[in-house]
Structure 1
Amino acid sequence: MFEGKRVLVLGLGKSGKAAIRLLDHFGASIVINDGHQAEEIPEYEEYVKKGYDCRFGGQDPALFEEDFDFCVKVPGINYHAPFVLRLKERGIPVITEIELAYQVAKPQHYIAVTGTNGKTTTVSLIYAILKGVKEHVHICGNYGIPYCDVVMDHALYENEGHTIVLEMSNFQLLDIKDFHAQVSTVTNLTPDHLDYMDSLDEYYASKMRIYENSDEHDVFIRNLDDDTLTSYLKRFPPKAKIETFSVSKEADCMLKDQTIYYKGEKVIDRKDIKIVGMHNVANIMVAILACVHSGVALSDIAKGISAFKGVEHRLEFVRELHGVKYYNDSKGTNTDAAVIAIKAFEKPVILLMGGHEKNLDVSDVAKYNDHIKTLITFGEAGARFARDMHHPHTYTLPHMKEAVLKAHEIAKDGDVVLLSPSTSSFDEFHNMAERGNMFKEIVNHFE
């Protein structure tokens, strides 16, 4: 397919390396450009031995005057960068690794999810449901797994009919050409990535590209609760059939009396859902619609939802013991994340808050003191957090382990214990994942 083609891979990282792997398999002549020095790239010697033309250490203007059949650009490189614009001015196609993989793959069933918030939770739930009932289901994209690697690992250039669940950032959508999803959605639109995009309008419009190649045989899942999204759908109307969802209005998938319905048929009660918050009800609705249009029965969808504990370390349900529910939100490394986590619960929580001292202002968290039954602070920032939160029921302990044990000691039937630290983990742990895993290990040993 690419034999004899001269291809520029612009940037490495996971997606660049995956693109190189696929291009090499198909016999392309590969030129690699990356800003890092050669000694910083573990694969440098391997790439040289394979005969790739490696141009590391920055962008030489002369490189972008050379001839290429096309360029594969990693999402992190700004598409407005002068050297990228120069390639396009010269008529050299610039694509992403997802587009490259799509062009190589045989026909597959694509479910594509974009939006500002909730993408990872949504694709994770869709994948979990589908894996329970189907063979040959793969998750990739902005989720952290390049589609090129999936194509290579499962020989999708020879095999067809697999289900591909893709999380797509607007960076990955900017340079698609032929990519065509059978089921697509924009979960929501809120301001983001203004360091990368020229304007908020450009950012929102880029999200609409997820369905630009869809037709009347495909399905677009529409959020009726997002006014900004509604305005952009009017500007860029989908050709696909529309299926709607809403947490507050009449829709194809809707919430009524704390139960989620699809076209009048009960799917699941909220009490049987482990992930919390109305934002996750919306994410679940997207998953229901995506799975219905992938041929999954509502009973199997309900089973998958009830078993889903969430994305690891992000409001992750750990267990229920003696009527007490434990949630791990170790990814909550700033105060905004802590507020979202606290608000996700319908009753006050026992909050575990603390870690490395980053001198963060916690006044925005303190505004939600009425959502906190008991505050337990820990770590370097523990004493200051306790002082600045002004919560009437506060314990301060030296380490996270003691904080978890104190929470277990005071929790009563019906309580929620929430680890949402509001800061980084570096006083006790290498990273937030190690902190979250320690929390889960302690909780899972309670009897």
Structure 2
Amino acid sequence: MNELKAFPYQRVLILGLAKSGTAVAKLLHRNGIGVIVNDLKTPEDDDNVRQIRDLGIGVIVGEHPLSVLDDVDAVIKNPGIPYENVLIKEALHKDLPILTEIELIAYFGIDQVVGITGSNGKTTTTTLIYEMFKRAELPASLAGNIGHVASEVAEGMEENEKMIIELSSFQLLGVDRFKPRIAVLLNLFEAHLDYHHTIEHYQNAKATIFKNQTEQDYLVYNADDPRIKQMVKPAASTLVPFSREAQLTTGAYCKDGAIYFKQEKVMDIDAIALVGAHNLENILAAVAVAKIEGISNLTIQAVLGSFTGVSHRLQFVEEVNGRLCYNDSKATNILATSKALNAFSQPVILLAGGLDRGNEFDELIPHMSNVKGMVLFGETSEKLTRAGKAADVEQIQIVTTMEEAVQQAYQLSEKGDIILLSPACASWDQYKTFEERGNMFIDSVHKL
């Protein structure tokens, strides 16, 4: 088991419990670091609270007393906790470092890290890269926003093992020394502005992924994205572009119906199993990383020829009497749903709706030409109804449950249609997670 090296903080406040907070509290305790834990919403009888208290770690739940900042020299916060939080504001006033748990990777001496970020496509790209490493028999572990606590993974990694880590803007805001050997910037669109407030702040958070890189490191970036092209200009690392639109002299790109890296043909696009034109960008990014790591074309071909997607991201569920049902519950913004709609030429029955973040859905309208019916739910159902009417969608239904939504979608559909859950909204108005929402869809499809 790896140990923290030269960790500069002696007593740390863990703000926010859940999976990552619990793991970090235990990890720091094992490494002799003083820890206190504070969480507003977790109840006293929660199992995580009991486990941490059994270790002799102080835990305060149900309130945010400012006294928890006494005698601490750093705060490690849950990425989702906003900087307007009363304790975070007070910690900043005290000039305390505000970190997220991925910063701990730097203190484990893990230098073989591939970090992936972007507004959309992170999970698909991260999983593709991991599958390529695994098929090439390169020792690697998944970590980060994909569901595995990064510092916990780092603690158990073997020598020469690589970490493939999905990174959100929330996580990246809380790093100081963290540095991936290969950083991947997929795209940048207006997202999470309720957290970051401006696109500039959001962009700066994403740019943190390469701020510590040197010329020995690599930055794989989307050359089709104007904001990304501007962002990477000050990077010290070796730039490796990818493009779906332009034929490059370096990096990964498309030409004559095939994927190329530099001047070398990697494989034909027709042989790729993953549906959706937007996924080509994720594939190009993964190919660029694989080629940097010396992975063979045969290995890349084997993975791309069989990989059909990750759970809740344009995941094929079942064919029901000629209708193809897809679960895209991870589409929590307009861009993701737009890309999902563009993946199909067949008529679509769209299931959408969820948390109202204050935005309208006008940007979805140009992508709805093949939507013949909509089944809507959640806080945004009326807003999505307006968008559907503006797009001349033939039939629009509003329901309250996912089972109703699937049944209505089936009734509106015909043989050859696509039944697509792609909500364009976060799930938190009705579900704890987008996974729970997607699983409800899958269960309801199976009931058909």
* TM-score in terms of structure 2 length: 0.80
Equivalent in 27, 30, 33 of residue 32 of structure 2: 27
* Cα distance in 2, alignment partners of residues 325 and 243 from structure 1: 37
1:283-294 equivalence runs, <5 A = 283-294=282-293
Q: CA deviation at 1:431?
A: 4.1
Equivalent in 34, 41, 49 of residue 44 of structure 1: 49
Does structure 2 retain, via aligned residues, the 8 Å contact 1:245–1:286? yes
User: 1:185-228: CA deviations, max 9, x gaps?
Assistant: 22112122222225321221121111111111111112111111
Does structure 1 retain, via aligned residues, the 8 Å contact 2:406–2:441? no
What secondary structure does 1:410 align onto?
A: coil
Residue 254 of structure 2 is matched in structure 1 by 255
* Cα distance in 1, alignment partners of residues 55 and 102 from structure 2: 24
Q: 1:135 and 1:225, CA in 2 relative to 1: closer, same or farther beyond 3 A?
A: closer
Residue 146 of structure 2 is matched in structure 1 by 143
User: 1:140-198: CA deviations, max 9, x gaps?
Assistant: 1122221122134xx23xx3211111111122112212212110022112122222225
After TM superposition, the structure 1 stretch with the greater mean CA deviation from structure 2, 362-371 or 246-255, is: 362-371
Equivalent in 120, 124, 127 of residue 121 of structure 1: 124
* Cα distance in 2, alignment partners of residues 421 and 188 from structure 1: 19
Letter matched to residue 420 of structure 2: L
What secondary structure does 1:7 align onto?
A: strand
* Cα distance in 2, alignment partners of residues 321 and 246 from structure 1: 37
Residue 419 of structure 1 is matched in structure 2 by 420
Q: 1:377 and 1:31, CA in 2 relative to 1: closer, same or farther beyond 3 A?
A: closer
Residue 190 of structure 2 is matched in structure 1 by 191
Q: Is 1:432 aligned to residue 437 of structure 2?
A: yes
* Cα distance in 1, alignment partners of residues 275 and 314 from structure 2: 7
Q: 1:171 and 1:362, CA in 2 relative to 1: closer, same or farther beyond 3 A?
A: closer
After TM superposition, the structure 1 stretch with the greater mean CA deviation from structure 2, 116-125 or 91-100, is: 91-100
Residue 94 of structure 1 is matched in structure 2 by 98
Letter matched to residue 215 of structure 1: T
* Cα distance in 2, alignment partners of residues 4 and 222 from structure 1: 34
Identity across the alignment (%): 29
Equivalent in 378, 381, 406 of residue 400 of structure 1: 406
Letter matched to residue 400 of structure 1: V
Q: 1:392 and 1:63, CA in 2 relative to 1: closer, same or farther beyond 3 A?
A: closer
* Cα distance in 1, alignment partners of residues 9 and 361 from structure 2: 58
Letter matched to residue 415 of structure 2: I
* Cα distance in 1, alignment partners of residues 406 and 273 from structure 2: 24
Letter matched to residue 24 of structure 1: H
Q: 1:401 and 1:273, CA in 2 relative to 1: closer, same or farther beyond 3 A?
A: farther
Residue 347 of structure 2 is matched in structure 1 by 349
Letter matched to residue 14 of structure 2: V
Does structure 1 retain, via aligned residues, the 8 Å contact 2:351–2:405? no
Q: Is 1:63 aligned to residue 68 of structure 2?
A: yes
What secondary structure does 1:195 align onto?
A: helix
Larger Rg: 1
* Cα distance in 2, alignment partners of residues 98 and 196 from structure 1: 19
User: 1:346-400: CA deviations, max 9, x gaps?
Assistant: x2334364799x9x9998767656424x65869999xx98x95865699999773
Number of residue pairs aligned between Structure 1 and Structure 2: 425
Q: What stretches of structure 2 of length at least 5 have no aligned partner?
A: none
Q: Is 1:243 aligned to residue 240 of structure 2?
A: yes
* Cα distance in 1, alignment partners of residues 296 and 146 from structure 2: 26
* Cα distance in 2, alignment partners of residues 27 and 438 from structure 1: 46
Q: 1:223 and 1:418, CA in 2 relative to 1: closer, same or farther beyond 3 A?
A: same
Q: 1:439 and 1:330, CA in 2 relative to 1: closer, same or farther beyond 3 A?
A: farther
Q: What stretches of structure 1 of length at least 5 have no aligned partner?
A: none
After TM superposition, the structure 1 stretch with the greater mean CA deviation from structure 2, 328-337 or 52-61, is: 328-337
What secondary structure does 2:170 align onto?
A: helix
Q: 1:143 and 1:4, CA in 2 relative to 1: closer, same or farther beyond 3 A?
A: closer
Does structure 1 retain, via aligned residues, the 8 Å contact 2:39–2:60? yes
What secondary structure does 1:276 align onto?
A: coil
Letter matched to residue 241 of structure 1: T
Q: 1:351 and 1:332, CA in 2 relative to 1: closer, same or farther beyond 3 A?
A: farther
Q: 1:78 and 1:258, CA in 2 relative to 1: closer, same or farther beyond 3 A?
A: same
